[in-house]
C-alpha cells in the first residue's frame, strides 16, 4: 500500500482502478488477460520486443554516426538489456503463469529492476534507472501501438493518475467514467485544479513523482478532502474508505438540501453567494444549489481544445443559455482570459515566444491586441444582455489606460449594434477583476471608473507573492492567508465601499470555507465560489454573526505570519460550523 500526500483541490472520495497517464500519456489498458489468450499475447509481446530492439538499433546507428561511438554505446547497452534472456523470461513467465497482460508484465518487471537499482545506494547506478524507464516506455509504445488509450474513449470507470493534465485535457475528461484524478504537478489554484471543481470530481495535484511506482489497474483511493492518494490499499483501509465514501455522500446531500434559500447571518445581514462557472451547463449546477447568480463566467473555456475561432453566434448562444438558466439573477461575463496556461490551438502563434507566460501576453492584453476577437465577444455579450441581468468584466487589468481602452471599444461596439439595428442592451454594468497588485494599490482611482470590482485572489496572490500558482515547487510561498494579501483585500474593500460600488471575491480563497468568516469580517457581502461549495458556504454564513466575523478580522490583523492566520481560522471555523470541513 502506497500513500502519497498532495494538494487537495476538489473535495470528495473516490475508489477505482488506476489509469496511468505518464508524461508520455501511456495507458495500460488491462492488467490481466484470459487463459486462452496467453499464446496470442505472448506472440504480441515478441513482436513488440522485436520492434523495440529494431528501434534501438536504429538509434544506436544514428547516435554513433552523428555524435560519436561513445553515444551509440548508450543504446547498445539498452539493446543488451532488452535482449537479456533473464529479463525477457521474467516477463514471459508473468504472462504465462500469472496471466498478466504483456504491458503490465513488462512494466512490472522493469519497474522492479528500477527500484532495486535505486535502493543500492550508489549514485551512478541510481542514474541508470532512467535507462530502464526509457526502455519501459519504448516497449510499451510498441506493445500498445494502436491500443494506446485515449481519455475520450473510456468505457469503464477509472481514476486518472497523470504527470500533468492541461486545462484542455481536464476540460475534456468524461465525467461518466473519470471518478477522480491526481497529478504529480499543479498548484492549488492552477486552472486544472479549478476545472476539477467544475467537473465536481475529487482531485489532488502537486503529488510529486509517484507514477514510476504504478503500472495501471491497481486499486486507488483518492481522498479529495485530505489530499491523500492511496495505491493498492489493504483490505481494512479499503473497507474504511468505502464506509467514509457513503458518509461523505450523505453529508453532502444533507448540506445540499439545507442550502436552498438565501444566506443570511444570524444578525440578519444578507450575504450573496454566486457560482463560478467555466461551461454553460454549469449554470444548472448553480441554479440547483440556489446560488444568487453567476459571479464569474470564465468564457475562455469556449476556446480551449478548439482550433478555430468562435463565431459571435457561438458566444451568443452560450451566454443566452447561462442567462436563461439563472433567470433574473445576475451573470457576470468575464471577457476572454486567454494566455498563460489557457492557450487554444488557433492562437498558439501569439504566445510561442513567451519566456514567462504568466507575466506575458495574457487576458485583456490579448483582447486589446486582437480587436476582432474582442469585439466579437463584446457584441455577443451586449446582445445576450437583452435576456437578463448581464454584467461585463475585464480580467487582468493592470492600468487605468487598459480600462479606458476597453471601455472605448465597448462604446464602439454599442454604436455598431445601434447602426445595424441589432437588439442589445446599452447600460450593461462594467467591472474589473482586481488581481494585479497595481490595481489593488490604486483601488480608489479605479473605483471611479468602473461599476464593480471582483477580487481575483488566485492571480493576486501569485503576483503579490511572486509564486507561480501552478508550480508545486513554490506552493509553500503561495498563501491566501499571507498578511500582505489580507492587507490588499482590506484596501480594495475600503475603496469600493467609499466609492459605493459592489465588490466580490471570486478567487478560490472564497471557496475555502475557513476564510469565509474573515472575508465577511473584512466587509465583503458578495462571494463567488465553485458551485459545489455554495451549500457549505451558506451553512457557515447562517451560523455566523457580523459581530463575530468582525472580531475575527480584527484578531487576524494582529498575526504576522500566514501559518498563524490559518490555524486560527481553522479553529474558528470548527466553532462556527463543525460540519463545514466535512
Partner in contact with 457, chosen from Mg ion, ligand PEP, none, beta carbon below 5 to 8 Å by kind: ligand PEP
**Using rule CB under 5 A, residue 459 touches Mg ion:** yes
299 secondary structure, DSSP code: G
User: 78, 142, 191, 315: which one is catalytic?
Assistant: 191
191/310 with CB nearer Mg ion: 191
Q: Of 265, 163, 296, 270, nearest to 544 (Cα)?
A: 265
Span interacting with Mg ion, options 34-42, 48-56, 427-435, 477-485, rule CB under 5 A: 427-435
User: 286, 315, 506, 526: which one is catalytic?
Assistant: 506
Q: Does the annotation count 188 as an active-site position?
A: no
- Dist CA 413 CA 377 (whole Å): 10
200/550 with CB nearer ligand PEP: 200
Q: How far is the CB of 391 from ligand PEP (least distance, A)?
A: 15
Span interacting with Mg ion, options 64-72, 308-316, 457-465, 514-522, rule CB under 5 A: 457-465
- Dist CA 529 CA 541 (whole Å): 14
216/395 with CB nearer Mg ion: 395
Which position's Cβ is nearest Mg ion?
459
164/577 with CB nearer ligand PEP: 164
Residue with cell 542514474: 127
Q: How far is the CB of 319 from ligand PEP (least distance, A)?
A: 17
**Using rule CB under 5 A, residue 435 touches Mg ion:** yes
Span interacting with Mg ion, options 93-101, 114-122, 422-430, 448-456, rule CB under 5 A: 448-456
CB 492 within 8 A of CB 434: yes
Cβ burial, residue 545 (10 Å; 0-12/13-18/19+): middle
- Dist CA 98 CA 323 (whole Å): 57
Give the distance from CA 15 to its chain's centroid.
20
Span interacting with Mg ion, options 145-153, 211-219, 279-287, 454-462, rule CB under 5 A: 454-462
**Using rule CB under 5 A, residue 41 touches Mg ion:** no
82/434 with CB nearer ligand PEP: 434
Q: Does the annotation count 506 as an active-site position?
A: yes
Residue with cell 492584453: 365
192/457 with CB nearer ligand PEP: 457
Locate all alpha helices (DSSP H) within 328-456, ordered by sequence. Answer: 348-351, 364-369, 371-384, 400-420, 437-441, 443-447
Q: Which residues pair with 222 in a beta bridge?
A: 14, 229
Q: Which residues contact 57 (CB under 8 A, 6 or more apart)?
A: 75, 79
Q: Of 259, 282, 287, 277, nearest to 333 (Cα)?
A: 277
Sheet of 158-162: strands edge to edge?
Answer: 2-5, 228-231, 219-223, 13-21, 158-162, 178-183, 203-205, 7-10
Question: Percentage helix, strand, coil, to 5, in the chain?
Answer: 55, 15, 30
Residues that bind ligand PEP (CB under 6 A): 194, 296, 298, 337, 435, 456-459, 506-507
User: Exactly one of 22, 330, 388, 456 binds Mg ion (CB under 5 A); which one?
Assistant: 456
102/456 with CB nearer ligand PEP: 456
Span interacting with Mg ion, options 212-220, 320-328, 456-464, 550-558, rule CB under 5 A: 456-464
CB 135 within 8 A of CB 111: no
Q: State in Å, rounded, how far the first CA of the chain is from the last one.
A: 25
Cα angle 40, 46, 47; round to 5: 90
Q: Of 216, 106, 105, nearest to 161 (Cα)?
A: 216
Q: How far is the CB of 527 from ligand PEP (least distance, A)?
A: 12
CB 146 within 8 A of CB 153: no
Partner in contact with 298, chosen from ligand PEP, Mg ion, none, beta carbon below 5 to 8 Å by kind: ligand PEP
Partner in contact with 362, chosen from Mg ion, ligand PEP, none, beta carbon below 5 to 8 Å by kind: none
- Dist CA 10 CA 194 (whole Å): 8
Partner in contact with 326, chosen from Mg ion, ligand PEP, none, beta carbon below 5 to 8 Å by kind: none
Q: How far is the CB of 296 from ligand PEP (least distance, A)?
A: 6
**Using rule CB under 5 A, residue 11 touches Mg ion:** no
Residues in the chain: 582
Q: How far is the CB of 51 from ligand PEP (least distance, A)?
A: 44
22/507 with CB nearer ligand PEP: 507
Q: How far is the CB of 65 from ligand PEP (least distance, A)?
A: 49
CB 21 within 8 A of CB 161: yes
Q: How far is the CB of 437 from ligand PEP (least distance, A)?
A: 12
Residues binding Mg ion: number (CB under 5 A):
3
Q: How far is the CB of 404 from Mg ion (least distance, A)?
A: 21
Interacting residues toward Mg ion by CB under 5 A: 435, 456, 459
The catalytic residues are 191, 506
Amino acid at each position: 500500500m502506497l500513500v502519497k500526500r498532495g494538494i487537495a483541490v476538489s473535495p470528495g472520495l473516490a475508489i477505482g482502478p488506476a489509469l496511468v497517464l505518464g508524461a508520455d500519456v501511456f495507458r495500460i489498458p488491462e492488467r490481466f488477460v484470459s487463459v486462452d489468450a496467453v499464446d496470442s499475447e505472448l506472440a504480441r509481446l515478441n513482436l513488440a520486443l522485436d520492434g523495440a530492439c529494431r528501434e534501438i538499433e536504429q538509434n544506436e546507428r544514428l547516435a554513433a554516426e552523428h555524435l560519436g561511438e561513445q553515444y551509440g554505446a548508450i543504446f547498445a547497452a539498452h539493446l543488451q538489456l532488452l535482449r537479456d534472456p533473464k529479463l525477457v523470461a521474467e516477463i514471459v513467465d508473468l504472462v504465462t503463469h500469472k496471466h498478466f497482460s504483456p504491458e503490465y508484465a513488462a512494466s512490472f518487471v522493469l519497474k522492479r529492476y528500477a527500484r532495486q537499482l535505486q535502493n543500492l545506494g550508489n549514485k551512478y547506478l541510481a542514474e541508470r534507472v532512467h535507462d530502464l524507464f526509457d526502455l519501459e516506455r519504448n516497449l510499451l509504445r510498441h506493445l500498445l501501438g494502436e491500443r494506446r488509450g485515449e481519455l475520450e474513449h473510456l468505457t469503464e470507470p477509472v481514476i486518472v493518475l497523470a504527470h500533468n493534465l492541461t486545462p484542455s485535457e481536464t476540460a475534456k475528461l468524461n465525467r461518466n467514467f473519470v471518478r477522480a484524478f491526481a497529478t504529480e504537478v499543479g498548484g492549488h489554484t492552477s486552472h486544472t485544479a479549478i476545472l476539477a471543481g467544475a467537473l465536481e470530481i475529487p482531485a489532488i495535484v502537486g503529488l510529486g513523482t509517484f507514477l514510476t511506482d504504478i503500472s495501471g489497474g491497481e486499486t486507488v483511493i483518492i481522498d479529495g478532502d485530505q489530499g491523500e492518494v492511496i495505491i493498492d490499499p489493504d483490505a481494512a483501509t479499503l473497507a474504511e474508505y468505502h464506509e467514509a465514501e457513503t458518509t461523505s455522500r450523505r453529508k453532502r446531500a444533507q448540506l445540499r438540501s439545507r442550502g436552498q434559500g438565501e444566506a443570511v447571518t444570524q444578525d440578519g445581514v444578507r450575504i450573496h453567494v454566486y457560482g463560478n462557472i467555466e461551461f454553460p451547463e454549469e449554470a444548472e449546477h448553480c441554479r440547483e444549489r440556489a446560488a444568487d447568480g453567476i459571479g464569474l463566467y470564465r468564457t475562455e473555456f469556449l476556446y480551449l481544445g478548439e482550433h478555430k475561432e468562435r463565431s459571435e453566434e457561438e458566444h451568443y448562444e452560450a451566454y443566452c443559455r447561462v442567462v436563461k438558466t439563472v433567470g433574473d439573477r445576475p451573470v457576470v461575463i468575464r471577457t476572454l482570459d486567454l494566455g498563460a496556461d489557457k492557450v487554444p490551438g488557433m492562437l498558439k502563434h501569439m504566445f510561442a515566444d513567451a519566456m514567462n507566460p504568466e507575466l506575458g501576453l495574457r487576458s485583456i492584453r490579448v483582447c486589446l491586441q486582437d480587436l476582432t476577437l474582442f469585439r466579437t465577444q463584446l457584441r455577443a455579450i451586449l446582445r445576450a444582455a437583452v435576456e437578463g441581468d448581464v454584467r461585463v468584466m475585464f480580467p487582468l487589468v493592470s492600468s487605468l489606460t487598459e480600462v479606458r481602452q476597453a471601455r472605448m471599444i465597448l462604446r464602439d461596439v454599442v454604436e455598431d449594434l445601434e447602426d445595424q439595428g441589432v437588439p442589445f442592451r446599452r447600460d450593461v454594468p462594467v467591472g474589473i477583476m482586481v488581481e494585479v497588485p497595481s490595481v489593488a494599490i490604486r483601488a480608489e482611482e479605479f473605483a471611479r471608473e468602473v461599476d464593480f470590482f471582483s477580487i481575483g485572489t488566485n492571480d493576486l496572490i501569485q503576483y503579490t507573492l511572486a509564486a507561480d500558482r501552478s508550480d508545486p515547487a513554490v506552493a509553500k510561498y503561495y498563501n491566501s492567508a499571507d498578511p500582505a494579501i489580507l492587507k490588499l483585500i482590506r484596501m480594495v474593500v475600503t475603496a469600493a465601499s467609499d466609492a459605493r460600488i459592489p465588490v466580490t471575491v471570486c478567487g478560490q480563497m472564497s471557496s475555502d470555507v475557513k476564510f469565509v468568516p474573515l472575508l465577511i469580517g473584512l466587509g465583503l457581502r458578495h462571494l463567488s465560489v465553485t458551485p459545489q461549495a455554495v451549500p457549505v458556504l451558506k451553512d457557515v454564513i447562517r451560523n455566523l454573526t457580523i459581530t463575530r466575523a468582525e472580531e475575527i478580522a480584527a484578531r487576524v490583523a494582529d498575526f504576522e505570519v500566514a501559518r498563524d492566520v490559518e490555524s486560527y481560522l481553522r479553529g474558528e471555523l470548527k466553532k462556527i460550523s463543525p460540519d463545514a470541513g466535512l
